Amino acid sequence: MATTARPAPEHSPDAYGEHSGLWSWLSTVDHKRIGILYLYTALFFFMFGGVEAIIIRAQLGAPNQHLVSAEFYNQLFTMHGTTMIFLAIMPLSAVFFNFLIPLQIGARDVAFPRLNAFSYWVYLFGGIFITIPIFFAVAPNGGWFGYAPLTTRAYSPGINIDFWVIGLQILGISSLAAAFNFLTTIINLRAPGMTLMRMPMFTWMAFIVQVLLVLAFPVITIALVFLLFDRFFGTNFYNTVSAGADPLLWQHLFWIFGHPEVYILVLPAFGLVSEVLPTYSKKPLFGYPVMVYSGILIAVLGFGVWAHHMFAVGMGPIADTFFGLTTMLIAIPTGVKIFNWIATMAQGAIRYTTAMLFGIGLVALFTIGGISGIMHASPPADLQQTDTYFIVAHFHYVLFGGSIMGIFAGLYHYFPKITGRLMDEKLGKIHFWLTFIAMNLTFFPMHFSGMLGMPRRIYTYDSGQGWDLFNALSTAGAMIFPIAMLIFIYNFLVSRKRGEIAGSNPWGAGTLEWTIPSPPPEYNFAKIPTVTSRYPLWEGKEVDYEDARINSQEGKTAADLGIIMPYSTIKPLLVALGLIVMFCGLISSRALIGVGAALMIFSLYSWLLSPLEPEHH
Amino acid sequence: MPASVAHTSAPTSHHYTTLGLDSRKVAIWAFIGSECMLFVSLISTYLIYKGRSIVGPFPHETWTDPATGHVFKPILNIPVTSASTFVLLMSSLFMVLALAAVQNKEKPKHTRGERVLGNSKLWLWMTAIAGATFLGFQAFEFTSFVHEGLSIRTNLFGSSFFTLTGFHGAHVTAGVIWLVTLLAIDYRRGLGSKDSLLVDIAALYWHFVDVIWIVIFTLVYLIK
Q: Minimal Cα distance from A601: which residue of B?
A: B177
Who's near B131: CB < 8 A, 6+ residues apart? B88, B91, B172, B175, B176, B179, B206
Q: How many CA atoms lie within 13 A of A333 on its CB side?
A: 21
pLDDT given for residue A432 in this prediction: 98
A448 part of a folded domain = yes
Between the CA of residue B34 and those of A63, A115, A334, what are the distances in Å? Answer: 48, 17, 26
Q: Where are the beta strands (DSSP E) in A450-590?
A: none
Tell me whether residue A504 is one of the annotated catalytic residues: no
Q: Minimal Cα distance from B19: which residue of A?
A: A188
Inter-chain CB proximity A187 and B26 less than 8 Å: yes
Mapped onto helix, strand or coil, the DSSP state of residue A501 is strand
Asked if A148 and A90 touch (Cβ cutoff 8 Å), the reply is no
Across the interface, of B37, B45, B155, the residue whose CB is closest to A243 is: B155
pLDDT given for residue A11 in this prediction: 44
A615 part of a folded domain = no
pLDDT given for residue A557 in this prediction: 85
CA B164 to mean position of chain CA atoms: 13
The boundaries of the domain holding residue B106 are: 24-222
Kindly report the nearest CA distance between residue A494 and chain B, in angstroms. 39
**A192 lies within 8 A of chain B by CB:** yes
B214 part of a folded domain = yes
* Mean pLDDT of the residues in chain B: 92
Residue B204 scores a pLDDT above 50 = yes
Mapped onto helix, strand or coil, the DSSP state of residue A421 is strand
The DSSP secondary structure of chain B, one letter per residue, reads -GGGGSS-SSTTTTS--SSSS-HHHHHHHHHHHHHHHHHHHHHHHHHHTTT--SSS--SSS-EE-TTT-PEEPP---HHHHHHHHHHHHHHHHHHHHHHHHHHTTTS---SHHHHHHT-HHHHHHHHHHHHHHHHHHHHHHHHHHHHHT--TTTSHHHHHHHHHHHHHHHHHHHHHHHHHHHHHHHHHH---GGGHHHHHHHHHHHHHHHHHHHHHIIIIII--
Helices A160-188 and A571-587 pack at an angle, to 10 degrees, of: 150
CB atoms within 10 A of CB A542: 18
Task: Tell me which amino acid residue A402 is.
Answer: G
DSSP A5: G
B2 part of a folded domain = no
Closest by CA to B16, choosing from A30, A531, A504, A609, is A531
A581 part of a folded domain = no
Band the pLDDT of B170: cuts 50, 70, 90: very high
pLDDT in tens, B1-27: 333 333 333 344 457 899 999 999 999
Mapped onto helix, strand or coil, the DSSP state of residue A455 is strand
Question: What percent helix, strand, coil does chain A show, rounded to 5?
Answer: 70, 0, 30
Rounded Cα–Cα distance for residues B121 and B110 (Å): 18
Inter-chain CB proximity A183 and B1 less than 8 Å: no
**A31 lies within 8 A of chain B by CB:** no
DSSP A148: T
The boundaries of the domain holding residue A74 are: 2-568
Peptide bond into B57 cis (omega under 30): yes
A610 part of a folded domain = no
Q: Which helix (H) or strand (E) holds A12?
A: none
pLDDT given for residue A540 in this prediction: 61
CA A216 to mean position of chain CA atoms: 15
Between the CA of residue A515 and those of A72, A135, A416, what are the distances in Å? Answer: 51, 47, 13
- In SS3 terms, A340-395 reads as HHHHHHCCCCCCCCHHHHHHHHHHHHHHHHHHHHHHCCCHHHHHHHCCEHHHHHHH
Mapped onto helix, strand or coil, the DSSP state of residue A503 is coil
Beta bridge partner(s), residue B71: B64
Inter-chain CB proximity B27 and A180 less than 8 Å: yes
B181 part of a folded domain = yes
Rounded Cα–Cα distance for residues B110 and A611 (Å): 36
Between the CA of residue A428 and those of A44, A353, A431, A504, B86, what are the distances in Å? Answer: 19, 9, 5, 21, 67
- The region, left, alpha or beta by phi > 0 then psi within -120 to 50, assigned to residue B176 is alpha
Tell me whether residue A109 is one of the annotated catalytic residues: yes
Across the interface, of A185, A222, A613, the residue whose CB is closest to B42 is: A222
**A window 80-119, beta carbon within 8 A of B:** 108, 111-112
Tell me whether residue A341 is one of the annotated catalytic residues: no
B52 part of a folded domain = yes
Who's near A173: CB < 8 A, 6+ residues apart? A122, A126, A579
Number of domains in chain B: 1
Between the CA of residue A558 and those of A522, A615, B58, what are the distances in Å? Answer: 7, 15, 65
The DSSP secondary structure of A463-499, one letter per residue, reads SSSS-HHHHHHHHHHHTHHHHHHHHHHHHHHHHHHHS
Residue A72 sits in a domain whose CATH number is 1.20.210.10
Asked if A327 and A397 touch (Cβ cutoff 8 Å), the reply is no
Asked if A35 and A110 touch (Cβ cutoff 8 Å), the reply is no
**List A123, A144, A397, A545, catalytic entry:** A144
Number of domains in chain A: 1
Q: Which helix (H) or strand (E) holds A400?
A: none
pLDDT in tens, A137-153: 999 999 999 999 999 99
Who's near A420: CB < 8 A, 6+ residues apart? A11, A13, A14, A15, A501, A502, A517, A518, A519
Q: Where are the beta strands (DSSP E) in A172-329?
A: none
Task: Tell me which amino acid residue A394 is.
Answer: H
Who's near A322: CB < 8 A, 6+ residues apart? none
- In SS3 terms, A69-123 reads as CHHHHHHHHHHHHHHHHHHHHHHHHHHHHHHHHHHHHCCCCCCCHHHHHHHHHHH
Tell me whether residue A274 is one of the annotated catalytic residues: yes
**A240 lies within 8 A of chain B by CB:** no
pLDDT given for residue B8 in this prediction: 34
Cα angle vertex A593, ends A140, A596, to 5°? 100
pLDDT given for residue A547 in this prediction: 77
Rounded Cα–Cα distance for residues A86 and B174 (Å): 28
Closest by CA to A335, choosing from A388, A297, A380, A282, is A297
Inter-chain CB proximity A243 and B156 less than 8 Å: yes
Across the interface, of A190, A214, A236, the residue whose CB is closest to B18 is: A190
Q: What are phi and psi of A192, to 5 degrees?
A: -55, 135
Residue B100 sits in a domain whose CATH number is 1.20.120.80
Band the pLDDT of B56: cuts 50, 70, 90: confident
Q: How many CA atoms lie within 13 A of A209 on its CB side?
A: 30
Rounded Cα–Cα distance for residues A173 and A122 (Å): 7
Tell me whether residue A174 is one of the annotated catalytic residues: yes
**List of chain A residues with pLDDT < 50:** 1-17
Kindly report the nearest CA distance between residue B177 and chain A, in angstroms. 11
Asked if B35 and A218 touch (Cβ cutoff 8 Å), the reply is yes
Q: What are phi and psi of B98, to 5 degrees?
A: -65, -45
Q: What is the mean pLDDT of residues B173-192?
A: 96
Q: Which of A152, A173, A236, A616 to mutate to test the interface with B (most CBs of B within 10 A)?
A: A236
pLDDT in tens, A1-27: 334 444 444 444 444 445 678 999 999
Residue B222 scores a pLDDT above 60 = yes
pLDDT in tens, A254-284: 999 999 999 999 999 999 999 999 999 999 9
Rounded Cα–Cα distance for residues B97 and B114 (Å): 12
Tell me whether residue A19 is one of the annotated catalytic residues: no
